[in-house]
Amino acid sequence: MAVRDASEPPGPAAAAELRNFLSEVPAPAAVGHRIVHSGPHLTGHTLIDTPVRALLADVADLAPLHVAPALRVVDAARELLPDVPHVACFDTVFHKDLPAQARTYAVPERWRAEYGLRRYGFHGLSYSWALQRTAQALGRPVDNLQVVLVHLGGGCSACAVRNGHSVDTTMGLTPLEGLVMSRRSGSLDPGALLWLQRRHGLSTAELDDTLHRHSGLLGLSGTSGDTRDLVRARAEGDAAAALALATFTLSCRRGIASMAASLDRLDALVFTGEIGEDQPEVREEICSALTVLGVRGGLLVPELEDLMREGLRRIDQAVRSVPVLVVATGEIQQIAAETRRLLGVADRTR
C-alpha cells in the first residue's frame, strides 16, 4: 500500500501533488474522498457527479476548515482520473438518524425550516470504525452495545451510541460546537459573541478566524495546541499550559457525561483520534474523575507501536469498572470500506 501524508490542508498545489503521487502508484479502481459535511440533501455516502459536486460547494461554509480544501482534491482527482468512480464519504452520515430531540436547536421554527438550523454531528467515519472494533474486542454484537465514543485530535467530539446508532453527539451544525479542541473554541455562550460584536466591534470575519484557528488549547496556553507540548510545559511549571489541560479535560468529562445521559447503561468508554491514541496523561485525567459513571483511573498505557499494530487495546484494570478502550484511528480504512460497499466490491479489510 502506498501512502502519502501531508501536514497541511490541500492548497493550490493539490493537483500537482496528486499527479506526482499517482505517477508512483498503480492506477486506482476507485477513489474515496472524506467530506466532513454532507449538508441537508445528502444522507448517505454517494458517487460524486456534477449535481453532487454543486451540493457540496453549497455547504462548504458550514465546515470552512474542511470542505473547501477537500473539494480542491475532489476536483483534481476527477480531472486526473475521469474514468474511475469517485465516492464522497461523509462524517455526518453516522449521525443521520439522530433523534429529533438530539438534533433540534431551541430556536424559532422559521430558523429551523427556512435556514436549516439543526445538529448534524461529525467524526462519523472515525466512530464507525471504532464502534466495529469495540464490538469485536468485547465479543458483543454492535446492536447490543451502549457506548460513549470520544474522538480527540485536532477536532474533538463525543458521541453516544445505542444499539449501533448514534443518538447524541457534542458537535452541531458545524464542527465548531462542543468540546474544547486544539485550535477551535468548542461551545461558547452565544451571548458572548453578540457582546463582542456589539461592545467591541469585532467583525464576523475576525470572530470566524479567532474561533477556528486561535482558540482552544492554543488560545488558552498561548504557545501550542498540541497536548504533548502542553504536558511537557506543565511539568516544567507553565501555569497557562496547566490551565489549558485542565480546561480541556474538564470539557471532555462534561461531554462524556452528557452523552451518557442519552444511554440506559454504559458498556464501554472508547477513545480514538491522535490525542485519544497517544496521550495517556489526558486519558488518565479524564477517566480518574469520571467515577460517577463507573469509570476508574489507573489505566494501562499501551505502547503506541503495539496499538497501531493491533488496532485496539483495553486499558482499564480496576475491578468492576466500565471497560475503557483505545482504538487506533481508522478513518482511512472506513473510507475504503464505505467506497467498496457503495460500489458492491467485497471488503477484505475487516
When pLDDT is cut at 50, 70 and 90, the band that residue 180 belongs to is: very high
Please tell me the predicted confidence (pLDDT) of residue 348: 57
Higher pLDDT, 54 or 5: 54
| pLDDT confidence of residue 79 | 92
Cα three-residue angle 304-309-313, rounded to 5 degrees = 65
For residue 16, name the pLDDT band (cuts at 50, 70, 90). confident
Question: Per residue in 33-42, pLDDT tens?
Answer: 999 999 999 9
**Rounded distance, CA 112 to CA 333, Å?**
35
Name the nearest CA neighbour of 94 among 129, 137, 145, 136. 129
pLDDT one-digit tens code per residue, 184-209: 999 999 999 999 999 999 999 999 99
Please say if the pLDDT value at position 236 is more than 90. Answer: yes
Q: What does the block give as the cell for 86?
A: 469517485
Residue 332 confidence (pLDDT) above 90: yes
158 or 9, which is more confident?
A: 158
Give dist(CA 324, CA 328) in Å, integer: 14
CB 154 within 8 A of CB 182: yes
Give the catalytic positions in this structure: 91
H-helix or E-strand spanning residue 229: helix 227-235
pLDDT bracket for residue 96 (50, 70, 90): very high
Express as a percent the part of the chain with pLDDT over 90: 89
pLDDT for residue 226: 98
Residue 311: the pLDDT is 95
Kindly state the average pLDDT of the residues 116-126.
97
Residue 350 in this model has a pLDDT that exceeds 70? no
Q: How confident is the model at residue 347 (pLDDT cuts 50, 70, 90)?
A: low
Instruction: Tell me how crowded residue 79 is: count the other CB atoms within 10 A of its CB.
Output: 11
Q: Locate the DSSP E strands across 125-255.
A: 146-152, 156-162, 165-169
CB-facing half-sphere around the CA of 214: CA atoms within 13 A: 6
What pLDDT, in 10s, does the model give residues 237-247? 999 999 999 99
